[in-house]
Structure 1
């Protein structure tokens, strides 16, 4: 289903024709949009849009009668090989530009919101949060502007041994953020149970929880490469942490353990 959607997307919007990485990412985003239950005509707010990988799929799914407002706290010059500003401009110049708009350097908690949304999407952005209290505050505000929260994140409860490299890399990077101030994309490893509790504490109820296959994505190798780069910076950490990181690092070098973790999806109302 999602593979067919990707090919239709490329033909219809003339985006990512020669970009295999983006095409693979789109396949997963279509699977997430289906799991979220996004429908035509919906008005959607996407928090943590990044370069717009999820945004374009949401915009395609809601159709011409729907709309996606996408926000991110990052500046336009953030990101590589294309900056967020460059990626968004490319999307704006396509047919999807009329049904989506981007707002960078925008803090959701300070954003002026004067309308209701059919759904609010947070897709693979919760690990960026430095403080769990801030994520809880996001959930509480979401409840005031929408009756539907669509949440997705990497699932640390991996089922295949081939995914343990991604698990170890994410663990190393979370420890790295504990001991070294950085703006990396892993600050906290929020899992199913923590997110579910936060949603309940925010006054919402989990309606659906499911897993979405993501083993084929490139993210695992990207995280493994970054984790290998930072391991040397644990020299100032307590010895027990160094030992733990070394054990995880040894696993990163095991052949055939670099598939990406799957995603878990929670839909709450």
Structure 2
């Protein structure tokens, strides 16, 4: 069992301290992620004692914040279909094992399963379902629709967050372009293991929620914390030599290939237009929404 004291929402650093990280040099990276997840959980108003189901938990960065919010009287069941050896710098299996041994570990159950299959195999109900910046990992828009439809009879509310495809901070413009560039490549592959597989805007997400019979309670678009580095990582991935090789290998039509390369050039130009270039790339805006289901009282 970890010797760290129980974390609190008003101290993202206390949550980052129990999340796996590679020493002091890696701690600021984890802290930026925790600050953003606290931003989400606070906006959604997750309360002490809730029974939460999280879809697409990954390594558990939002899971640990949810477990902090629900307290000892609450519980989080965290679902992800990815292999336990997927992920970097820690795999899902390593990160989840670390969190199980943390001060909030008893509040969490990690389950490796397709969310739809998991929901078909249980009749359990929950107060809240959470999908925190996982939707772009889905293989198609229909996957989201199926998950929302399966969750709706089981929960009182569904909390969503995803990148907004807007840049309130001009430094985030390269990130918006990088996300669309990655998506333009990945949608041409039969299967994808990219971080960005299906790009859906907030308008498309709201349409899917409406089709599932959900009622929007509140929404807002926020600028993520300065320490959240996803924008820098995604821009770097698009401008890497490996990305160019993937385009050459995955896209045979020369016109389609030219579109992806033109978008990549736009990413580079947007990054180079910044005063300090890549070091100043910021993460794009994040859309946060809370929906009520028909069972909401």
Could you tell me the TM-score, scaled by structure 2's length? 0.84
CA drift at 1:155? 1.2
Matched with 1:121 is 130
Number of corresponding residues: 266
Aligned counterparts of 1:14 and 1:193: Cα–Cα separation in 2: 33
Q: Aligned partners of 2:134, 2:253: CA distance in 1, in Å?
A: 27
The unaligned stretches of length 5 or more in structure 1 are none
Q: CA deviation at 1:250?
A: 2.8
Distance 1:4 1:134 in 2: 35
Output the TM-score relative to the length of structure 1.
Answer: 0.92
Q: 1:80, 1:10 → 2: CA distance?
A: 17
Distance 2:285 2:198 in 1: 17
Of 137-146 and 230-239, deviating more is: 230-239
Which residue of structure 2 aligns with residue 212 of structure 1? 222
> Deviations for 1:106-153, whole angstroms, at most 9, x for unmatched residues?
011111222110000000000011211111011111101101000001
Residue 130 (structure 1) aligned to one of 122, 127, 139 = 139
Whether contact under 8 Å (2:9, 2:65) holds in the other structure is no
Q: Deviations over 1:89-116 (max 9, x none)?
A: 1111112111101012x01111122211
CA RMSD of the aligned region, Å?
2.0
The match for 1:263 among 275, 278, 286 is 286
SS of match in other structure, 1:118: strand
Other-structure match for 2:266: 247
**Cα distance between partner residues in 2 of 1:10 and 1:209:** 27
Distance in 2 separating the partners of 1:203 and 1:65: 30
Distance 1:80 1:161, change over 3 A: same
SS of corresponding position for 1:189? coil
* CA deviations over 1:74-98 (Å, ceiling 9, x no partner): 0111111111100011111112111
Runs (4 or more) in structure 1 with deviation over 6 Å come to none
Q: 1:31 to 1:215 in 2, by over 3 A?
A: closer
Which residue is equivalent to 1:178?
187
Alignment check: 8 A CA contact 2:20 2:95 kept: no
